[in-house]
């Protein structure tokens, strides 16, 4: 059994996953694993998607790479998808959600245009990642959190940090 929990922070690109995960790692002393960086650094992909301007992730390679680390516990995994991770890996799944106008501004500032911008805004409108999380994990471990402002992020980090602190006594 793990001595520290594993947390998945997911949500549409631009909802604040990496910012929240970094702050959470600092507050809890858990390890932050950014899947996008891991895929690039370890070449866990099947090439580049020109239309969406991103790597085509090889989900099996990612899961194999994470297996031992996740077994130890104490990880915050940051990625915009969640349905390919085995359920047993996570003790909490946090889905960050952002209002469409805020998300549009964030993604536009990142240089997102065309299909990439439209797909991500629609993903948030239809709450696809929240539904994906609810379908992939036990309902009691999935938590949706608003992520529109710095205050929201700070509140989310505090809430999750409190959960981490109490985790050992509730498992």
pLDDT for the residue 37: 97
- List residues forming the annotated binding site: 14, 16-19, 110
- List residues forming the annotated binding site for ATP: 14, 16-19, 110
- Summarised one tens digit per residue, pLDDT across range 23-68 is 999 999 999 999 999 999 999 999 999 988 889 999 999 999 999 9
CATH classification at residue 151: 3.40.50.300
- Residue 13 inside a domain? The answer is yes
- Summarised one tens digit per residue, pLDDT across range 64-83 is 999 999 999 999 999 999 99
Map the chain to HEC letters: CCCCCEEEEECCCCCCHHHHHHHHHHHHCCEEEEHHHHHHHHCCEEEEECCCCEEEECHHHHHHHHHHHHHHCCEEEECCCCCCCCHHHCCEEEEEECCHHHHHHHHHHCCCCHHHHHHHHHHHHCCHHHHHHHHHCCHHHEEEEECCCHHHHHHHHHHHHHHHHHHHHHC
Q: pLDDT over 70 for what percent of the chain?
A: 98
pLDDT for the residue 169: 66
- Residue 170 inside a domain? The answer is no
- Residue 100 inside a domain? The answer is yes
- Residue 1 inside a domain? The answer is no
How many domains is the chain built from?
1
Domain housing 94: 6-165
């Amino acid at each position: 059994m793990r001595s520290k929990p594993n947390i998945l922070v997911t949500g549409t690109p631009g909802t604040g996953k990496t910012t929240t995960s970094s702050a959470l790692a600092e507050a809890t002393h858990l390890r932050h694993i950014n899947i996008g960086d891991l895929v690039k650094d370890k070449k866990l992909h099947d090439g580049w998607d020109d239309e969406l301007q991103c790597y085509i992730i090889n989900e099996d390679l990612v899961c194999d790479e994470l297996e031992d680390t996740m077994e130890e516990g104490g990880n915050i995994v940051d990625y915009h998808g969640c349905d390919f991770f085995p359920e047993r890996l996570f003790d909490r799944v946090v889905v960050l959600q952002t209002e469409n106008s805020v998300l549009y501004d964030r993604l536009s500032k990142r240089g997102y245009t065309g299909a990439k911008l439209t797909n991500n805004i629609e993903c948030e409108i239809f709450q696809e990642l929240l539904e994906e999380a609810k379908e992939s994990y036990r309902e009691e471990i999935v938590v949706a959190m608003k992520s529109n402002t710095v205050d929201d992020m700070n509140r989310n980090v505090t809430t999750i940090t409190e959960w981490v602190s109490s985790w050992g006594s509730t498992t």
